[in-house]
Amino acid sequence: MVETNKIETLRWVGGFDGHLVMIDQTQLPGELIELECRDIDTVFEAIQMLRVRGAPAIGIAGAYGVLIGIQSDFDSVSALKIQLARTCDYLAESRPTAVNLFWALNRMRRTPDEFPTDDVIELKNALLKTAVEIHEEDRQMCHAIGQHGADLLANVDSFLTHCNAGGLATAEYGTALSVFFTCHDRGRKIKVYVDETRPLLQGARLTTWELMQHGIDTTLICDSMAAQVMREGRIEAIVTGADRIARNGDAANKIGTYSLAVLARHHGIPLYIAAPSSTFDLSLPDGDGIPIEERRAEEITHGFGRPTAPEGVHVYNPAFDVTPSDYIEAIITERGVIHEVNEDNVLSVLGIC
């Protein structure tokens, strides 16, 4: 067990021959348990089974997973490079939608070219340095997102969020939740409504837990209640995270986000996406090319191990949906806010042109 007053989603212990420790998020909010990952299959399973989840945290776990995958003794740098490639390929199969995983793995792949050496130990240390940098950069990006978001939404007091985009999904503070945490740190009294987020209830289990740990006024609602809550005038703005954002600003996030965007448009409520620059996939012109992970039927038919549907029923279980850019009021990044979300403004804020 770990203390709740210091929540660290994941951390690396030791040198290049160390191991990864993460909070097992499948056990929350009932128990706060840490999982030790000492082999590559444990890391793969943790990512696939959502023991670690949230695009940035998945990327960090992937980078540290690479270190675990190359802990054998190698007689040459060439042999190490071969195993590095195999490990990255293997981990890339764990989850398809969160682009941060592929971004982090590609950074690990590039390390031998950026730090050329004929010494196996030197290369392993360089790979450890890259993984630690990925972790620390995400921590800094999360806090910057929070600052930009709190400035942008300085006059908003009542929010709705979906799924979990807090410290549990990142290195620290989160993306969407970083906006709320920063508002709270500035002494503002805000209220956050949280969708339960079917079928795995990340909002109910994780987001409410994080917000309450931080002392923020939190109200949990069922996903199907969002329209009524909007109609009653309880929501001033919606803020969510994202798992992959296309070049034009179309954003993939947890299933149900697109529904909120449509409802928000009808009720005149702005929807904001909070995400780091590493979540953008500029190789995709729009959201049509974003791969949507389809998960096991049992997540719906046997919610948390109990039968909740007739045996043999057909199930369709996409884990994500894509919100078109014209439904998004702005995207909050660590580099600034993208207003009038389109390709030109995305590239401008990201510093591409």
Annotated catalytic residues are 243
- Residues counted in the chain: 353
Six token digits for residue 301 = 């038919």
274 forms beta bridges with 332
Q: What gap in Å lies between CA 195 and CA 176, rounded to an integer?
A: 14
Residues 6+ positions from 41 with CB-CB distance below 8 Å: none
294 forms beta bridges with 318
Q: What is the dihedral of CA 293, 294, 298, 300, to 10 degrees?
A: 90
Peptide linkage before 112 cis (omega within 30 of 0):
no
| Residue 59 buriedness (CB in 10 A; 0-12 / 13-18 / 19+) | buried
Q: What gap in Å lies between CA 122 and CA 131, rounded to an integer?
A: 14
The 10 Å CB-count burial string (b at 16+, else e) for 28-54 is beeebeebebeebebbbebbeebbbbb
Alpha carbon of residue 136 to chain centroid: 15
Residues 6+ positions from 342 with CB-CB distance below 8 Å: 248, 249, 325
